[in-house]
Amino acid sequence: MKRVDPLLIVDQLEISSKALVPLMKKFSFQIFPGEIVALTGASGCGKSLTANAVVGLLEDGCEVTNGRIYYKGQSLSQNDEKSWQTLRRDEISLLIQHSLSGLNPLQSVKKQMLRTLKQKTEPAKKERMNYLRDLLRQVGFSNPERILSSYPFQLSGGMCQRILLAMMISLQPTLLIADEPTTALDSVNKEKLLALLKKLQQEHGLTILLISHDVERISAFADRIIDMEAREEVRTCFLNYKG
């Protein structure tokens, strides 16, 4: 049987505050290509820190003090800012917890989507608007033209979340990390967003790391659930994964 290498390896990761107080210790897990893996655990156990460390976006107040992160077999420890930017543009997208803070309320959706698209080799000018409309349809908007001309403050939290998702997909990432993407949504929209992530995973061959407290809801959605609560001990619960 052909051996599949992990896409992402987090190995004995420790993140500390600037005063070198560990905020999380010795956390390890792996993700294989095409999987949907959910990361769960009590509030404050370090889920968001882990997600931010994977894409080089730890806040100024904290740093990786032990352990390593490998992506496609390469250690990310020596990454400079330019390498992190390239990784975020070409490989790993992070969908953050609070959708509105990810969009500029004073700029139209069209302007923001075009700016994201420009980070990549963009489609030819005349194709661009068709591409954006198609992306918006893929995330469930039946009237993309209206959405493109809207400003984020005119839209609901769930709509903004779907727009951010469309922007991430336009970067064609290999790995999508979604940090509590459903927190601000009501029950129906939570289900819709998870179904949408699953659809995008299947259509675009994405690998997804989903951070969530909602073990019950995500157990029907994820291939594996990693419980981070024990901090130094990772319990991995294999559900549908056939690795």
Beta-sheet pairing, 36-40 with 224-227: parallel
- Spatial CA neighbour of 50 closest among 169, 226, 189: 226
Q: Give the interface with ligand ATP as residue ranges (CB under 6 A).
A: 17, 23, 41, 43-49, 59, 61-62
Residue with Cβ nearer ligand ATP (98 or 118): 98
- Contact between 47 and 234 (Cβ < 8 Å): no
Nearer to ligand ATP, 13 or 193 (CB): 13
The DSSP result for 125-161, as a single string, is: HHHHHHHHHHHHHHTT-S-HHHHHT--GGGS-HHHHH
Closest CA to 144 of 108, 168, 116: 108
Tell me the closest approach of the beta carbon of residue 220 to ligand ATP, in angstroms. 20
Q: Which is nearer to ligand ATP, 23 or 239 (CB)?
A: 23
Residue nearest to ligand ATP (CB): 61
Q: Taking the complex as a whole, how short is the minimal distance between the CB of residue 228 and ligand ATP, in angstroms?
A: 7
Single-letter code of the amino acid located at 59:
E
Nearest distance in Å: CB 20, ligand ATP: 11
- Give the span between the Cα atoms of 159 and 147, in whole angstroms: 9
- The minimum distance between CB 163 and ligand ATP, in angstroms, equals 22
Beta strand 175-179 pairing with 92-95: parallel
**Between 61 and 105, CB nearer to ligand ATP:** 61
Q: CB of residue 127 vs ligand ATP: minimum separation in angstroms?
A: 39
Q: At 33, which amino acid appears?
A: P
| Paired tokens of 68 | 């390593």
Closest distance to ligand ATP from the beta carbon of 125 (Å): 41
- Considering Cα of 27, then 54, then 226, then 179, what sign does the dihedral take? positive
For ligand ATP, give the closer residue by CB, 176 or 200.
176
Based on CB atoms, which residue is closest to ligand ATP, 40 or 201? 40
In 61-186, which residue ranges form alpha helices assigned H by DSSP?
A: 81-90, 109-118, 125-138, 144-148, 157-170
